[in-house]
Amino acid sequence: AQDYFSYNPAAYRDGIYPERLVDVGAPAILRDFRVIPVNFYPFRYDAKTKELLIARKITVRVNFDTHDPRNPKPEPAVISGAFARIYQSVIANYWYYARNENLRRGTILYIARDDFVDDIQPLLEWRQKRGYRVRVARAYADIGGGDTPSADDILNYIQNAYDNWEYPPDYVVLVGDVAMGGTFLPDYDYYSPFIGETYASDYRYSLLDGDDYLADVMVGRISVDNEVEAQTYANKVVHYEANPLARGSEWLRRGAIIAANCCGTPTPTTPRLMSLWLRELALRQGFTELDTFFCYGTTCPRGADEISAYINEGVAFVNYRGWGGAPGWTFPSFYVGDVMGLSNVDMTPFVTSIVCGTGDFNSSTSDPAFCEAWIRAGTPTAPRGGVDFYGPSDHDTHTKWNNPNCEGFYWGLFEENLHTFGQCALRGKITLYLSYPDNRAPGDGVEHYLYVYNIIGDPSVSLWKSVPRELTVDAPENLPRGATQIALNISSAGNPVDSALVSVWFFDGDPITIFSAGDGSAVVPLPAEQTLAADSFSLVVSKPGYAPFQAVVHISGENRTALAGCILLDSATDSTDGNGDGLPSPGETIALVPEVANISGEDLSDITVKILPDTMFEIVDSVSAIAEIPAGDTVSGDAVIIALSHEIPDSFQIGVRFAISYGAGTDTAAYLLNIRAPLLKIEGITPAGDSILSPGETSEILVRIKNIGSVPTRAGELHLSGGIRVLPVSDGTIPAIPPDSEGVSAGISVSADDGLINGIVDHLTLEFDDGFYRQRLELPITVGEITSSTFGGPDIRGYYCYDNTDAESGRAPEYEWIEISPYEGGDGTDLNLGDDETANIPLPFTFNYYGYDYDTIGVCSNGWIGLGAIETWIFNNFYNRPLPDPSGPWGMICPFWDDLDPSVVEGHGVFYKYIEDRHIFVIEWHTVNAHDRTTVEWFEVILRDPAYYPAQADVGEIVFQYREIADVDSLEGDPNSLAEYSTIGIEDPTQSVAIQYKFCGELAPHAAEIEPGRAILFTTNPPTAVDTSEVHSAPKPKRFDLSAAPNPFNSAQRISVSLPEDA
């Protein structure tokens, strides 16, 4: 058990503790990105005078020091494709920093007990057919040097692969148990300072970059003891991914959700609520049957027999929250023997067991452990059980930490389009990491839970979260020997399918992959030496949400010619214009000298090689002539000349197509051109002089630009365009920038309108052009400084935030408390809410919130409002989280989200009233108590009728007001308490966009401290100092480009557009 109070002697010495208001933590690395936490201490204690010092406003300017030696991380020109989806989910400004990223499909590294390698061959081959690069390391021969490898041996091998391989691993899969006869695969035991005990863990194997504890690869363990179990699991994964509809489709619409509000003091309440939230989320995804098996305390209406029968009918996933251990779940009881007895052949779900000890794969009391039983169940020809398992080795976990882990896993799967088990598990851990900023220190609770949760199974398994659609692929069944391309058209239900992964594998070496275009077409270049030697190859087309198309293409008959290669010339001559480095780069005019092989067995004459058109280049000279090619010889022709587009991104591949004609006919061929280009990113924007662009000022701005591409730029010009209130004055120049280096602009200047206010951000476009390479960059220019006396926003949906200190904005609300509690002389209606209760109430007017109309709201005792009629038995969240957050209802208004209780004292409560003559709807939390049951919180929300309070896009305005407020922590000193103070802000119904005013004691840069007399307004109306009417007098553009940013956060985005009639 943890003490509620932990004595810290540093806080009681003479002087102020902490000494500093703000400090910066050590940089951490999440695979490709370097992140730095900033810690604020608004509450400090002076032990000498016994005074508590409260900083009500803190203004911080963050300067990035490029010489900080801690956890250095140069920006690569390519980004892990497996991690890119994680970045999209958790890095708020990823869209800005990596919008031109080049994603690279990495490697899956299998580290296997030597005699298991042959047993998992079906899995290894399937991975390569699917387009993965696969590498296998034998534990005894390749890592242990003829002996059982140590944990450090394994870690060093993975580290070398990560540091030195051209394609570093995205996934690492250990194949073998930690305890078995012969060579075993040790885990990397984790000693937890948080608990003071040691736990089974493979998580250390994922930490390869920097000294932080954020994963750089995704690691899992196929924990099997013998060859048959290894064969069973390998075939289980192949069956699951390759033939999901073998047993029909209904099982993929069903899920099993199991929970117990048990045990401990006080009795947990959130396992069942967490499970109901998951049920609602899955129903939104399209699931049609989600049976729940709930226990109340130790009373369980249904047990192992009912659970087994339901799983045997087929379910896509199984989730458990409650009470358990290494042998299995305690309430309802479901143990290793129950798993091994399942008969769900070829309908194997993925399993998330977010409960104590069920992921302890090195248990001394249960072998196999519960987690191992799921992946071992079945036989090689009849796989049963589950395909993957996620759970903790710690036998005493707590709901505070488990809930966000579970939420993040399923939110990533269902709402953020993560599609592998490893991605979802990492998303769960990052949600946990983001939820508890005060517990992120090394050795604290967040580190502990990231280490003790492990994947049992293959983390690269692609999950089914709906019934897959079928792909129709128009592809040849046969190709002539020596062919150098295969052309396909991909569709589903008559519609073209873009971004489908086409993988060609010649049953050896690495696969060849390409993605389909928007029209569903794909042309895969094939090496002539492969099609000359092979008799067939594997063709697999896959895309998340679609059943993979699988075929074998046979090589029969013969072309008479083959394109053996091309010689590339790019020096500045009469016919070419380039830098002479032998690499194709944007804007260059290059020569390609085709090398044509005669594979017909007869001499050929009068051969012409014609290059075919492509959108990525213009043809200058299209035809190459070859007089004669003797049988069996290879001859070079004349050069064909093409001018490459100026804006081709780095690492882009162009399949250059040729038609090779001779007397008897024409063969087609392709040559893969790998583009090498710069890739520019803005690192900083600083106005000259005092580094501030003030309203009415014209100033030079210095733009720091980094080249994260693979080749240098030349000295270039910078052209400015766009802007509404910050206008370009002069263009500029920038010197040549080598790869992984920076350059600083000269000569660029802008002018800010004198009617602007501090905090306004205008967006200009900066175009780089060095005569060859061109790239457009977004240039955000901030006017003045953002402080607590400036406004917040807008968010990407157009909402601004103003408080009553933002006088300059013209939108600052006045604090005007509206009393509706009958205990204070008001006549509001009492919702009669108890602790952790929610009630739905109708609105007297239609309230538009983020583009959606609502006539009902749900009001929770814990200081938040949900939009629409919400499931009150699910959503009464008392654990406050940062915004946006998936745990609450679909759209939240949070005036003071914390664990509050309006039922402690008579006269406390939550009240509502419609004040018709003012056209406002008021909800008041009247002197409710915080979790400590003594602190009083008194605040209200005012919803304004959009018909009487006009706002852009016709949304409803929201006002928060605070009469008596104290942002206290709950049970401070208990590591498993809430410990996150409060959350204040608004969140959109997709739960992906928010304005967070305050969380966990930390204010947004624009926010003033929450104190009695504070008022906050949320609206889509911009500051009144920005007169948007003058924009209409600008020249009419020839076209309008509409875009939704940031993307890819959502698959759909609402865009509101209006034009005057004379536009």
Give tens-digit pLDDT for 42-87.
666 676 676 777 766 565 555 544 555 555 565 555 677 787 777 7
- Residue % of the chain over a pLDDT of 70: 87
Do 553 and 475 contact (CB within 8 A), yes or no? yes
Residue 763's pLDDT is 86
| DSSP-assigned letter for residue 123 | H
Q: 247-418 and 680-782 share one CATH topology?
A: no
Residue 1043's pLDDT is 36
- Compute the Cα dihedral for 432, 438, 439, 441 and give only its sign: positive
Residue 791's pLDDT is 85
What's the CA gap between 814 and 765, in Å, rounded? 38
Report the C-alpha dihedral over residues 683, 688, 689, 690, rounded to 10 degrees: -40
What's the CA gap between 805 and 787, in Å, rounded? 10
Residue 689's pLDDT is 76
pLDDT band at 460 (very low <50, low <70, confident <90, very high): very high
Do 650 and 679 contact (CB within 8 A), yes or no? yes
Strand order in the sheet with 665-674: 623-629, 604-611, 653-662, 665-674
Residue 155's pLDDT is 98
DSSP of 372-389? HHHHH-B-SSSB-S-SEE
Give tens-digit pLDDT for 849-905.
999 999 999 999 999 999 999 887 777 778 788 898 887 888 999 999 999 999 888
Average pLDDT over the chain, rounded to whole? 88
pLDDT band at 698 (very low <50, low <70, confident <90, very high): very high
**pLDDT above 80: residue 219:** yes
The count of other CB atoms within 10 Å of the CB of residue 543 is 22
What is the rounded radius of gyration, in angstroms, for the C-alpha atoms of the chain?
A: 31
Residue 719's pLDDT is 97
Bridge pairing between strands 28-30 and 33-35: antiparallel
Best CA proximity match to 913, nearest among 835, 989, 859: 859
Matching residue, tokens 């005990």: 197
**pLDDT above 50: residue 1053:** no
Residue 15's pLDDT is 65
Residue 7's pLDDT is 43
Tell the CATH topology of 247-418: Rossmann fold (3.40.50)
Mean pLDDT of all residues in 724-742 = 92
Mean pLDDT of all residues in 551-565 = 91
Best CA proximity match to 644, nearest among 656, 661, 658, 627: 656
Phi and psi, residue 123, nearest 5°: -70, -45
Beta bridge partners of 628: 605
Q: What is the pTM of this model?
A: 0.74
What's the CA gap between 947 and 952, in Å, rounded? 12
Give tens-digit pLDDT for 408-433.
999 999 999 999 999 999 999 999 99
* Residue 104 CB partners (closer than 8 Å, separation 6+): 78, 79, 80, 81, 167, 651
State the CATH class of domain 561-673.
mainly beta
Q: Which of 96-100, 135-139, 836-840 has the lowest mean pLDDT?
A: 96-100
Tokens for 1, please give them.
């058990």
What's the CA gap between 303 and 307, in Å, rounded? 6
Best CA proximity match to 461, nearest among 244, 210, 754, 744: 244
What's the CA gap between 40 and 25, in Å, rounded? 11
Q: How many residues does the chain have?
A: 1063
**pLDDT above 50: residue 1062:** no
Give tens-digit pLDDT for 502-523.
999 999 999 999 999 889 999 9
pLDDT band at 13 (very low <50, low <70, confident <90, very high): low
- For the chain, the structural domain boundaries read 9-75, 247-418, 469-556, 561-673, 680-782, 800-1019
**pLDDT above 60: residue 1049:** no
Torsion-angle region of residue 696: left (phi > 0), alpha (psi -120 to 50) or beta?
A: left
DSSP of 231-286? HHHHHHHHHHHH-TTTT-SGGGGEEEEEEEE--SSSPP-HHHHHHHHHHHHHHHHT
**pLDDT above 80: residue 434:** yes
Matching residue, tokens 């046979």: 554
Give tens-digit pLDDT for 929-956.
987 888 899 999 999 999 999 999 899 9
Angle at the Cα of 562 (from 561 to 565), degrees rounded to 5? 140
E strands along 83-214, which residues? Answer: 102-104, 107-112, 133-138, 169-175, 190-192, 197-199
Q: Which of 353-367, 426-440, 835-849 has the lowest mean pLDDT?
A: 426-440
Best CA proximity match to 399, nearest among 277, 271, 265, 279: 271
Mean pLDDT of all residues in 822-848 = 95
Give tens-digit pLDDT for 18-51.
666 666 555 667 777 665 555 556 666 676 676 7
**pLDDT above 60: residue 976:** no
Do 343 and 310 contact (CB within 8 A), yes or no? no
Do 339 and 311 contact (CB within 8 A), yes or no? no
- Compute the Cα dihedral for 10, 16, 21, 22 and give only its sign: negative
- Cα 466 versus chain centre, distance: 20
Highest mean pLDDT among 28-32, 183-187, 242-246, 1027-1031: 242-246
What's the CA gap between 813 and 1019, in Å, rounded? 11
**pLDDT above 50: residue 1040:** no
Give tens-digit pLDDT for 340-354.
999 999 999 999 999
What's the CA gap between 118 and 141, in Å, rounded? 14
Superfamily of domain 680-782: Immunoglobulins (2.60.40.10)
Amino acid at 459: P
Residue 1031's pLDDT is 36
The count of other CB atoms within 10 Å of the CB of residue 924 is 26
Beta bridge partners of 532: none
**pLDDT above 90: residue 783:** no
- Compute the Cα dihedral for 897, 903, 906, 907 and give only its sign: positive
Best CA proximity match to 132, nearest among 104, 158, 111, 163: 104
State the CATH class of domain 469-556.
mainly beta
Mean pLDDT of all residues in 552-568 = 91
What's the CA gap between 77 and 740, in Å, rounded? 9
Mean pLDDT of all residues in 380-392 = 98
Do 683 and 742 contact (CB within 8 A), yes or no? yes
What's the CA gap between 449 and 405, in Å, rounded? 9
Give tens-digit pLDDT for 632-645.
999 999 999 999 99
Matching residue, tokens 């280049």: 617
**pLDDT above 70: residue 1063:** no
- Compute the Cα dihedral for 269, 272, 278, 281 and give only its sign: negative
Residue 764's pLDDT is 92
Helix, strand, or coil here: 395?
Answer: coil
Give tens-digit pLDDT for 987-1003.
999 888 899 999 988 89
Residue 624's pLDDT is 95
